[in-house]
Amino acid sequence: MDCVFCKIIKGEIPSDKVYEDDDFLVIRDINPVAPVHLLVLYKKHVGKIHQLDEEDKKKVSKVFDVIAKVVEKEGILESGYRVVINNGEQAGQEIDHIHFHVIGGRKLGKIA
């Protein structure tokens, strides 16, 4: 498998880690769109939301606890932040591995 996120999770590619547990790795995006732009990576390789099995769904539901921890650590809990998941090419998903963008640190524009 030639998945860049899987390689990051395995430590084969360096990253700026913010948080890690058994199911998730949170890293800083290498091309940030805001002062805080984190990627929350599900450690198991699953390409799209609809490919999650029941066990994956239980684990991925913990993502909100992970996000709560990292936004507090990054100092954007009170000011606000955006959580985005792109699912599929037309939605803007560039890497076929489920991940959440956590974006904040400045006023964000409205989404069309």
Which residues carry out catalysis? 99
Q: What angle do CA 70, 20, 67 make, to 5 degrees?
A: 25
CA–CA separation, 39 vs 18, rounded Å? 9
Which amino acid, residue 85?
A: I
Q: List alpha helices for 21-77, DSSP H.
A: 54-60, 63-74
CA–CA separation, 47 vs 95, rounded Å? 8
